[in-house]
Homo-oligomer: A and B are copies of this chain.
Amino acid sequence: MSSFSIATSGEVLELLRDDLAAVEQEFTVQSQSPVRVVTDIAEYLIAGGGKRIRPLLLLLAAKALGCKDEARIRLGAVVEMLHTATLVHDDIIDEASTRRGKPSSNTTWGNSKCVLAGDWLYMQSFRTALEERNFRMLDLLISLTQEMVEGELLQMEKLGHLINEEEYFDLIYRKTASLFKVSMQLGAVVAYPPSEGMLPYEEALGEYGRNLGLAFQIVDDVLDLTAQDVILGKPAASDLREGKATLAVIHALERGTGADREAIRTVMEDRGFDRIRHSHILEILRRHGSLAYAMDTAQAYAEAARQSIAELPETEFKRALMWVPGFVTSRDR
């Protein structure tokens, strides 16, 4: 079996079936609060689904290193809960009305309760991690959270402004790739006894997570531009409506005619498609090959992710990790 033979989705889900079910159960247990409204909001978000890709990465990384410790289940729930906490606060900031096709939590409970529910979810994820009595886990989780929060603030500062590719990559690293990276690193941390230093394969797994996260977010941003509302579960081109320039848009801005740039700027200023139609923006992006450019870039990061773990021992879990980048770049929602 060569290191580049690719698994199938059925094989991957079968490999992790018991672990993913255990993470789901653990996530529910951890969401119980003595304060009713916290549990309500947490249960609403759990029921809302989500791809659980962060726990999946952590589990594959841990098992690729032979981890049998139950801590992998608890940590899987921790990274999903941390992700959920960021979503709750982000929805307040973006004034989002929907999330995954359902009313967002801030719409249902109001901003004030969601500020506090987000705080609670952060604390609960740290508290669960703290019980593992491993400082490196806490270093990774707390530094990560601070990076993500700084990323959201940077994004706010840049709303409505044209940004360059470097700024875009910094933002999507903070928004998505940093948590993918840490999920993979935690897989290594949980596979070995506590240690203050870098662990075997930790750097490679972290690089995989970073590359995969960048690919994932680039695809997400392309889908936001191209997919129908009904498939996405939120209004199409919501990034542009919110004044956020993503990779294809940055590409078109750099290559477009004066009129093209003006059309894109108008949508970002208007925060909507009142003067310029969505189809006109798509035509500009297609004419300059900007959507293809973004997808090609995502493919390159997906390939880089696979390359990052070339040295990992050959196991079925490595095979599964080889499959994930293709899944991430070929999804339609």
Contacts and interface: CB of A to CB of B under 8 A. Distances in A.
Interface in A1-53: 33-38
A126 B130 CA distance: 12
A23 to B, nearest CB: 22
Contacts of A115: 89, 92-93, 115, 118
Given A35-B150, A135-B133, A150-B34, A142 B119 contact: no
Contacts of A33: 150
Interface in A266-320: none
A239 interface: no
A133 B126 CA distance: 15
A195 B102 CA distance: 47
Interface stretch (A56-64, A151-159, A228-236, A323-331): A151-159
Given A142-B126, A143-B127, A146-B124, A116 B35 contact: no
Contacts of A226: none
Contact of A150 (B118, B120, B130, B138): B120
State which size class the interface on A falls in: 35 or more
Interface string A129-147: 0100101001100110110
A119 B34 contact: no
Contact of A123 (B34, B36, B38, B142): B142
Nearest to A123: B146
Contacts of A157: 35-37
A124 B113 CA distance: 23
A120 B126 CA distance: 14
A119 B122 contact: yes
Nearest to A139: B130
B93 A153 contact: no
B143 A135 contact: no
A117 B154 CA distance: 12
Contacts of A150: 33-35, 38, 120
A155 to B, nearest CB: 10
Q: List 10 A-B pairs, minimum CB-CB distance, nearest first.
A: A123-B146, A93-B112, A119-B149, A35-B150, A35-B153, A120-B149, A116-B153, A127-B142, A123-B145, A126-B142
21 contacts: A33-B150, A34-B150, A35-B150, A35-B154, A35-B157, A37-B153, A89-B115, A92-B112, A93-B112, A116-B152, A118-B119, A119-B122, A119-B145, A120-B146, A120-B149, A122-B122, A126-B126, A126-B142, A130-B138, A130-B142, A133-B135
Given A92-B115, A120-B149, 5 more contacts: A35-B150, A35-B153, A37-B153, A120-B150, A123-B146
